[in-house]
Amino acid sequence: MNIVHTVQEVRQIVKAWRKEGLSIGFVPTMGYLHEGHQSLIQRAVLENDRVVVSIFVNPMQFGPQEDLESYPRDLEHDAAICEETGAHLIFHPEPEEMYLPDFCSFVDMNGLTKGLCGKSRPVHFRGVCTVVNKLFNIVGADRAYFGEKDAQQLAVIRRMVRDLNMDIEIVGCPIIREEDGLAKSSRNTYLNELERKAALILHKSLTIGKRLLESGERDANTIISCITEKINTEPLAKIDYVDVVDALSLEKVDKIERSVLVAIAVYIGKTRLIDNFSFEV
């Protein structure tokens, strides 16, 4: 496995693979890899001849008050995970490699990015769309793998690829959880012992919502109220949002008649965590 830091190196390697007629899978990440990322890499290894993993903490997708500086980083550990999972290339650029001083081109989206996480993170999805677009152009993969953990991101990327006729297949992969149900996340490392326990409220409250849907409840507000009530039993938790939205348009629904995404964002202490589930009617 190779680790490279420049666009030119990635292009050279991929070009050689293409000459051999090999297919290419791509897994974009911000590093500090865990089993969630690993599941994406595993799937990519299964479905492609060569797999590229990018590790880049993208400054453009962080707001001014967010955790860009403190975001955890450990390239050595990440390289070991990529290697043992069967990836062939890590692209680990410096921000200066991705954004020249006079950089001024962006990819943005209306609609899908305004609700859910977009409300409290207004610049986030412009940063995500721009960097993912750049990475797709750099790597030139056949398929790219994204986790359902970031359900809004997955919907946004799918829409961007469709709207802009990008020649890449987007593969969504299920949420990987800790044994007690907490969705794996690089940000879980911010939690102290008490907060780690409190963070279980995300999965617990979603489980209540899911059971209600499974038992036939179709009123979105009832689902939202029950999830909200459960989260509010946890003193360390502060809700950012609890929403029931159409799975494709991400627009709020009242009556649940089509596939929906039930998504939440909750602060546990200072750490903002997200979780979700999809439900097909």
Q: Which CB sits closer to ligand AMP, 55 or 231?
A: 55
Distance CA 130, CA 157 (A): 10
- Residue that has been written with the tokens 């450990």 in this structure: 74
Report how far residue 33's alpha carbon sits from residue 198's, in angstroms, rounded to the nearest whole number: 23
Block residue for tokens 């409250």: 205
Tell me whether residue 270 is annotated as binding. Answer: no
Query: Residue 69's CB: how many other CB atoms inside 10 A?
Result: 8
* Residues near ligand AMP (CB under 6 A): 29-30, 36-37, 39-40, 146-147, 149-150, 173, 175-176, 183-186
| Minimum distance of ligand AMP from residue 268's CB (angstroms) | 16
CB of 235 to ligand AMP, least distance (A): 25
User: What angle do helix axes 151-163 and 124-139 make, rounded to 10 degrees?
Assistant: 60
Q: Nearest CA to 199 among 187, 217, 209, 213?
A: 187
Nearer to ligand AMP by C-beta: 184 or 252? 184
Strands (E), 72-185: 89-91, 143-147, 169-173
Specify the residue, 184 or 210, whose C-beta has the smaller distance to ligand AMP. 184
Q: Which is nearer to ligand AMP, 173 or 206 (CB)?
A: 173
Q: Is 23 annotated as a binding residue?
A: no
Of residues 185 and 205, the one with the C-beta less far from ligand AMP? 185
The active-site residue out of 5, 37, 77, 88 is: 37
Q: Is 176 annotated as a binding residue?
A: yes
Walk across the sheet containing 169-173 and list its strands. Answer: 2-4, 89-91, 50-55, 24-29, 143-147, 169-173
How far apart are CB 152 and ligand AMP at their closest, in Å?
Answer: 10
The CA distance from 110 to 261, in Å, is 19
Please indicate whether residue 124 is annotated as part of the active site: no
Give the residue nearest to ligand AMP (CB). Answer: 147
- Does the annotation flag 61 for ligand binding? yes
Least distance (Å) between residue 40 CB and ligand AMP? 5
Instruction: Answer yes or no: are the C-beta atoms of 29 and 144 closer than 8 Å.
Output: no
**What number of residues does the chain have?**
281
Check the annotation: does 148 bind a ligand: yes
Q: Binding residue per annotation — 153?
A: yes
- Given a contact cutoff of 8 angstroms between Cβ atoms, the answer to whether 209 and 276 are in contact is no
**Parallel, antiparallel, or unpaired for β 271-279 and 260-268?**
antiparallel
Residues 157, 67: Cα–Cα separation, whole Å: 23
Q: Is 205 part of any known ligand binding site?
A: no
d(CA 54, CA 187): 18
CB of 174 to ligand AMP, least distance (A): 7
Q: Binding site, residues? A: 30-37, 61, 147-150, 153, 176, 184-187
Q: Binding site for (R)-pantoate, residues? A: 61, 153
Q: Binding site for ATP, residues? A: 30-37, 147-150, 176, 184-187
Catalytic residues: 37
